[in-house]
Amino acid sequence: MKRKPKLKKIGSSVRTNVRAMRPGGYPLSIDFGVGSLKVLQLTGSDQPMIAAASQLTTPDDLLTTPSRRLLFQMEALPKLISSGKFKTNRAVCMIPVGQMVCKHFQIQQIEGVAIEDLASGHLASQIGCDPSALLVRCNCVEGSKSGAKREVITYGASREFVGRLMGTLKSAKLEPVGIHNEFEAIAQSINTRAGADEGARPVLVLDMGCSTTNVLIMHGERTVFARSIEHGAMHFDDSICHQLRCTMLEAREIRQGLEVLIPEPATVAVAETASESMPGMPPAPEPVESSEPVAQKPAMPGPVGPRVDLGEALEIMTDEVSMCLRYHRSLFPGTPIGKVLFVGGLSKQVSVCEHIARKLNMSAQSVDPLACLGRTGKIPTSGIDLSDAQPGWASVVGGALIPTDL
């Protein structure tokens, strides 16, 4: 298989989205992510610019307990807002992907019935709940090969949880003006990059986060496929824990330093006395006793660092993504995808991105969504270094640019 060139980073001027320009300016964008709580404010008119940014890293003991993590972040939000130099109280937030359901349905349109109501009924019956308990949004996929039925991407979340998010914003003395899902926010962030040369050519977007990987397939600015895979950086770290019997913190540090993800099989050393078992060979001479010291052979250097094999975790990831690509081919036969864009915290590890791109036989680019935004002077920040690439900020950037919906 031909090796694709190494990853390139993209990030330049933002194409201004007129719809995102609001009379009240850009609202705060808040993301309750697994790895961290993020808050971003943008400013500017011709081009969005970073005004302030704060990040609160999730304690390690809360990473695997979503309810405790969300409670910690919701309680910490008021203090994070008050300590940051944010200039507005208008705010939007993303529904955490773990609290949302994303499904594809092929729905037969019924005259006089909204597609959202039909999708809500399909989703409620599949997960076993009352349709009235869900807030549902739909994205109709145009141009797909689905016969008389319509291909619909359905996003659903609990009304109770959405109400809890709005209450959290109000307790931080914020005015809620939008509740978005992460897929729409990521798509908006991708659309801000300079990509006029790509036109409407389809691309695969992998948002590789701490506990999940969000998969999007986009035809230009249109999202035609969306799915969440429960496989992220923590699963790689868990594999290292089992192999080396170490803590998750140690495993994370080891993974971040890995250059070789799947080591070559160890060669079996051949014993020097192997000739004894071969027929027709003379027996080995008897050892001669001598009072002189015997010269020792220099020891061969051992492997540097721990030997870790992430082959199984990588195979799970690539298999799940391949299933998504096969579904896309069933919807759009004859429309191949030749490029994958990487965002999310795990995409900072270039070796992981390169391995996935090779397995998918695609060219690859890593996206730093903050690099697409303008900057003026010294930006007040907390918990984030803007001099480093921050691919994990894709959803929070997109959330700030999506038109408000409340």
What value does the mean pLDDT take over residues 31-41?
A: 97
Report the pLDDT value the prediction gives residue 24, as an integer from 0 to 100: 64
Question: pLDDT grade, residue 264 (50/70/90)?
Answer: confident
Separation of alpha carbons 356 and 354, rounded Å: 6
Q: Which of 20-29, 51-60, 395-404 has the lowest mean pLDDT?
A: 20-29
- In this structure, what DSSP letter does residue 49 have? E
Token pair 């990509």 in the structure block, residue = 195
49-57 and 36-43 strand pairing:
antiparallel
Question: pLDDT grade, residue 17 (50/70/90)?
Answer: very low
Give domain limits for the chain: 8-258+307-401
Q: In one letter, which amino acid is 349?
A: Q
Report the pLDDT value the prediction gives residue 100, as an integer from 0 to 100: 95
Report the pLDDT value the prediction gives residue 165, as an integer from 0 to 100: 97
Shortest CA distance to 87 belongs to which of 343, 384, 355, 380? Answer: 380
Is a pLDDT exceeding 60 seen at residue 388?
yes
Beta strands in 338-395 (DSSP E): 339-343, 363-367, 381-382
Separation of alpha carbons 349 and 232, rounded Å: 12
Compute how many other C-beta atoms are within 10 angstroms of the C-beta atom of residue 87: 11
Considering only residues 236 and 302, tell me which one the structure prediction assigns the higher pLDDT.
236
SS3 189: helix
Task: Tell me the per-residue pLDDT of 109-168, one tens digit each, with 9 for 90 and over.
Answer: 899 999 999 999 999 999 999 999 999 999 999 988 877 899 999 999 999 999 999 999
What value does the mean pLDDT take over residues 341-370?
A: 95
| Mean of per-residue pLDDT scores for the chain | 86
141: tokens are 């996929």
Question: pLDDT grade, residue 12 (50/70/90)?
Answer: very low
Shortest CA distance to 262 belongs to which of 183, 154, 367, 354? Answer: 354
Q: Which residues are paired to 101 by β-bridges?
A: 156
Residues in CB range of 65: below 8 A, 6 or more apart: none
Is a pLDDT exceeding 80 seen at residue 199?
no
> How is the beta sheet containing 381-382 ordered, strand by strand?
175-181, 90-95, 28-32, 36-43, 49-57, 381-382
Question: pLDDT grade, residue 11 (50/70/90)?
Answer: very low
Separation of alpha carbons 210 and 343, rounded Å: 12
118: tokens are 């039909």
**What is the dihedral angle through the alpha carbons of 293, 294, 296, 297, rounded to the nearest 10 degrees?**
160
Separation of alpha carbons 10 and 339, rounded Å: 13
- Kindly report the CATH number that applies to the domain delimited by 8-258+307-401: 3.30.420.40
Report the pLDDT value the prediction gives residue 41, as an integer from 0 to 100: 96
What value does the mean pLDDT take over residues 98-103?
A: 95
